Structure 1
């Protein structure tokens, strides 16, 4: 994925978690949170921590959970 296509994907994302894989120039993968097309947190340790922080941000920012993700929380509960 090129940098331009990655930026385009970020701009189109309402709420999401991103993970970049290791590349020769980058020793560590990057995990972060995107809210409304803006990377709000980056360089997090793992996806589990990032998921917990995403739910904490939704709660603390008093965000309305996107209706198209209404079954996501049920999926997390079953896992």
Structure 2
């Protein structure tokens, strides 16, 4: 993927393809290792290691916030269409806390990554996907992005997504 980086980056920046279209063209890019690598090529910051190192100290507060955003399974498809991007978690029915059937990322109503190991890893990958697809961060989530950028990534990456 590193050999085709400049070609791929030019395509993303100039043509601004839809997420599903770009995934169809560059399927190998949409794996956790490749998103980490692509983010590093764009920003020179190791995404997942930097993100996870800072996350531990903020986890209790974040968990309580994320639990308030729960939706019922019947409404998943509707909500995927309603929001530009996000992390979804499908909990096992009647399962213990932390028992998930799937954790993934969707962009523009399209599942971009699924079967991610944890919600924390999914959040890191979500940021990576935003950079890989050269997307603007949703204005309604501006403060979430600022928190991730300034606290969890220690002020990196320098690119502004406002």
Q: TM-score, normalised by structure 1?
A: 0.79
Comparing 31-40 with 15-24, greater Cα deviation is found at 15-24
1:32 and 2:104 are equivalent in the alignment: yes
Change (3 A) 1:2 1:61: closer
Greater RCO structure (CA 8 Å; 6+ sep): 2
Paired residues, what number?
A: 76
Larger radius of gyration: 2
**Alignment check: 8 A CA contact 2:137 2:145 kept:** no
Q: TM-score, normalised by structure 2?
A: 0.42
Higher normalized strand content (fraction of residues):
1
Give the CA RMSD over aligned residues.
2.0
Change (3 A) 1:15 1:2: closer
Q: Write the distance in 2 (CA, Å) between the matches of 1:22 and 1:68.
A: 30
Q: Which runs of 5+ in 2 are unaligned?
A: 1-71, 153-162
Task: Give the 5 Å matches for 1:37-52.
Answer: 37-52=109-124
